[in-house]
Amino acid sequence: MIFQTDAISKSFGQRLVLDQVNFGCQAGEIKAVIGPNGAGKTTLFKLILGLLRPDSGKVHWKAETERSVGAIIEKPSFYSYLNASENIRLFGKLQGHRINSEKVTEILVRVGLDPDRKDPVRNYSMGMKQRLGIAIALLGDPEVLILDEPFSGLDPMGIRSLSDLLTDLAKEEDKAIVISSHFMDQLIKFCDQVSVMSKGSIIVEGSSYDLLSADPKTYRLEGPDLLSSDVLKELDLQVDKHRVNVRSDQMLMQDLLGKLLEEGTVITACIPLLAIEELMKPEQ
Ligand SMILES: Nc1ncnc2c1ncn2[C@@H]1O[C@H](COP(=O)(O)OP(=O)(O)OP(=O)(O)O)[C@@H](O)[C@H]1O
């Protein structure tokens, strides 16, 4: 492991926000931390980065890598009135790196941004801002990248291309990458390991494959007009016009789909929801 937390806990006032969390990452690995709002993901990242001190427990770093970390916490920050190259140069200077023009171009191309674009970054799309944030986080060529919700605000194409970039950084440059998200489906396809957080604890951990093969208990049915279905009405479910969640112990899914077909209700999707997503209720 490049770093490993050993039973770290953190409270804010009376509120226990992290409860004895053990979490680490190794070189070349992409690790995801998923959980609802308030689960403690950002607090965990801040403790790993040394931005907060744990009340108990410790963060251990592999000696020679100590704090060789690039991070985006909460959202990427840069000077929105400067262009991307100017931001790279300025942050390079602030971090004490000598960054010449070739290096600026190399870094921007590495994260998929056009080095010739000269307008201020306030004009950039959300995905481009995330990429610029990653470019800045990569300036010191860190061994570890910690990215808090890098996919927030991105469309499916943006998510796909950013996950390809992160996969390249892990597999080609051997970086240890930790990312957080609220959504399982964004991460599970390309992360090596997933830790699910709830109320300050890691409640499930495993490879993406293990988590995907967990038995689905709930299915989400989608269709153009589910409210007019008598079959669904009889089941006493919370039906919305376009979607309804059905637990498989309420009715065998193939029987239900057969009945819906018989009464002429159009179903456009039947999506198994992972048991883990049921565990991820928002924090109170
Ligand atoms: N500085 C602080 N002072 C008081 N409470 C805090 C502080 N920072 C975080 N918290 C509380 O700790 C809990 C966990 O917050 P945290 O930001 O770590 O969650 P999260 O999983 O990252 O949530 P989100 O997905 O919304 O970003 C929340 O209840 C939050 O209000």
Task: Give tens-digit pLDDT for 147-192.
Answer: 998 888 778 888 888 889 899 999 999 999 999 987 776 677 789 9
pLDDT at position 225 is 94
Give the per-residue pLDDT at 284.
Answer: 46
Mean pLDDT on 236-256: 82
How many A from CA of 282 to the centre of ligand 1?
A: 12
Mean pLDDT for the chain overall: 86
CA distance 230 to 185: 32
What ipTM did this prediction achieve? 0.97
Q: Return the structure tokens found at 196.
A: 């699910």
For residues 62 and 27, which has the higher predicted lDDT (pLDDT)?
A: 27
Residues recorded for the chain: 284
Give yes or no for residue 202 CB within 6 A of ligand 1: no
pLDDT, greater one: 273 or 26: 26
H or E element in which residue 85 lies = helix 84-94
The CATH H-level (homologous superfamily) assignment of domain 3-212 is P-loop containing nucleotide triphosphate hydrolases (3.40.50.300)
Ligand 1 centre from 249 Cα, in Å?
Answer: 35
| CB of 40 sitting under 6 A from ligand 1 | yes
Atom of ligand 1 nearest to the CA of 13: 4
Q: How far is the CA of 9 from the centre of ligand 1 (A)?
A: 13
Kindly tell me if the per-residue pLDDT of 13 is higher than 90: yes
Query: pLDDT above 70 covers what percent of the chain?
Result: 90
208/213: higher pLDDT: 208
Mean pLDDT of 4-24: 95
**Domains of the chain: which residue ranges?**
3-212, 218-279
Tokens (6 digits) for 251: 């009715």
**Rounded Cα distance, 241 and 53, in Å:** 48
